[in-house]
Amino acid sequence: MRSASASIHAGLAAVLAGTLLLAIVIAAVWGATFWAFVLAAGGELVVLLWLARTWAAARDRRAVAPGAPLSPRAAPTRRRRLITQLRDVRDAVGALPDAVVLLDHQGHVCWRNAAAIHLLGLQQQPDERPLALRLAGSELGTWLGTDTRQAAADLPAPADPALRLSATMMAFGAHRQLLLARDISPLSRLEQVRRDFIANVSHELRTPLTVIHGYLELLDPADVPELAPVLKEMRMQSQRMRQLVEDLLTLSRLETREALPDEHMVMAPLLVALQHEAQALSQGRHTITVEAGTDADLRGSRRDLHSAFSNLVSNAVRYTPSGGNIVIGWQRTANGDAVFSVRDSGLGIPAEHLGRLTERFYRVSSSRSRESGGTGLGLSIVKHVLNLHQGRLVIASEPGQGSTFSCVLDASRVLPPASDDSTGTGTPAD
Ligand code: ADP
């Protein structure tokens, strides 16, 4: 800034000196004092105008410099610039294809973009009600009334149920919130096509496989002793294929469900049934015990919870070498949640695989899974069943030491023990 003003002063001095010198020369040589005066005055006027412009530009630059004190004269320029920037940001957000809604601390709409009108059905005219009330009756409205820290993955758009939305709520400024909703209809359609394809293929395969398996069962290896090993292998593979198709159909069914029946699931007989299943599978190779720290029951789908717990028990038997221990546990935690767990002293799982175990067909060792009759879908089914019960699967494992698979179910799903057997035995409902 100092160098700018120094050059202004030097320029001023040079031009003034130049015009004065020219005026003296004209007056002395031609005696034209009047024209010398006009020339000197004109030159100085030009210099003064140039100086005024330079000074104004320097002042504007100072006014918009970050952290510069705002002088009263600079304020209007800075305000104009900020207003322009604000308008640009608002126009950019307004043009986004995603719905953006700014909410105050009470959930009232302070601002929304154009996409919010056609995706969320927010009308142009002002509405004093909080957004959750304005959207009451829609799934998005219900979600807004719950804990919105968890994003909503796939909901029908309130303005047009044919459109699917994902929604996220973010804290913003002092106690304000920003709702973002994205149209995921194309993705959702693709996902539906994939689901339908798997369900249809599995369904189509089911009948021919049942027929083949039936005929294989009819064949007696004693009639053709030379084909006995082949027959045994064919029966085993056809059984595997049937199990694969059944698991795929189970997954398809779970994926299309938004909720499962809320039944009273009596846990005590279920734990005994699971122990018997494990013993039948183990054929005396393992020590299998039940540790029940509570007599509480559960609220949920008997058939699906039994299938999930069974999967964990069967895995423990299949991945624990002979002589190992398996403990089926049923406990309450300090905060009231219920935990069904299966602990084994088996092979264990290296840490890098833990995060991916519930993916379809993910196996730590494909050969071991196939040898033991696994389809690679068991833990995926467990995860889906738990999700539909608002529960979660926790896996702790140490290679060579064993694994513990725990199904954590919210306290709201825990029921007092049934007084009689009228509520069901805990065995799967058909
Ligand atoms: P699979 O039918 O192959 O057992 P799952 O989905 O049930 O499929 O399990 C996925 C993989 O997780 C298995 O292939 C196996 O590698 C690993 N796994 C599951 N349970 C256990 C366990 N109790 N001990 C060691 N590994 C396990």
Q: What is the mean pLDDT of residues 369-376?
A: 81
Beta carbons of 163 and 181 less than 8 angstroms apart:
no
Beta carbons of 349 and 401 less than 8 angstroms apart:
no
Burial tier of 93 (Cβ tally within 10 Å: 0-12, 13-18, 19+): middle
Question: Is the CB–ligand 1 distance for residue 363 below 6 Å?
Answer: yes
Burial tier of 218 (Cβ tally within 10 Å: 0-12, 13-18, 19+): exposed
Q: How far is CA 280 from CA 12, 81, 286, 288, 311, in A?
A: 105, 79, 11, 11, 14
Q: Can you give the pLDDT at residue 366?
A: 78
Smallest CA-to-CA distance from 103 within 163, 154, 172, 36 is with: 172
- Where residue 65 falls among pLDDT bands split at 50, 70, 90? low
At 82-94, the pLDDT tens digits run 999 999 998 898 8
At 123-143, the pLDDT tens digits run 767 788 899 999 988 999 999
Beta carbons of 365 and 318 less than 8 angstroms apart:
no
Q: Can you give the pLDDT at residue 165?
A: 95
Question: Is the CB–ligand 1 distance for residue 364 below 6 Å?
Answer: yes
Six token digits for residue 84: 């322009």
At 3-20, the pLDDT tens digits run 555 566 666 667 677 777
Candidates 250, 345, 347, 357: which one to mutate for ligand 1, based on the most atoms within 8 Å of Cβ?
357
Six token digits for residue 165: 């939305």
Q: Can you give the pLDDT at residue 425?
A: 46
Task: Give the position, in ligand 1's atom list, of the atom nearest the Cα of 374.
Answer: 2
The separation between the first and the last C-alpha atoms of the chain, rounded to the nearest angstrom, is 86
Smallest CA-to-CA distance from 237 within 256, 217, 213 is with: 213
Beta carbons of 429 and 302 less than 8 angstroms apart:
yes
Q: Can you give the pLDDT at residue 174?
A: 80
pTM over 0.75: no
Question: Is the CB–ligand 1 distance for residue 251 below 6 Å?
Answer: no
Does the pLDDT of residue 296 top 90, yes or no? yes
Is the model more confident about 235 or about 365? 235
Which amino acid type is present at position 248? L
Q: What is the mean pLDDT of residues 199-224?
A: 92
Q: How far is CA 52 from CA 6, 8, 43, 56, in A?
A: 15, 10, 14, 6
Q: What is the mean pLDDT of residues 154-173?
A: 90
Question: Is the CB–ligand 1 distance for residue 312 below 6 Å?
Answer: no
Q: Can you give the pLDDT at residue 282?
A: 96
Q: What percent of the chain has pLDDT over 70?
A: 87
Question: Is the CB–ligand 1 distance for residue 402 below 6 Å?
Answer: no
Question: Is the CB–ligand 1 distance for residue 281 below 6 Å?
Answer: no
What is d(CA 66, CA 388) in angstroms, rounded to the nearest whole number? 53
Neighbours of 298 (CB within 10 A): 24
- Average pLDDT of the residues of the chain: 87
Specify the residue with its C-alpha closest to ligand 1, atom 18: 315
Specify the residue with its C-alpha closest to ligand 1, atom 11: 363
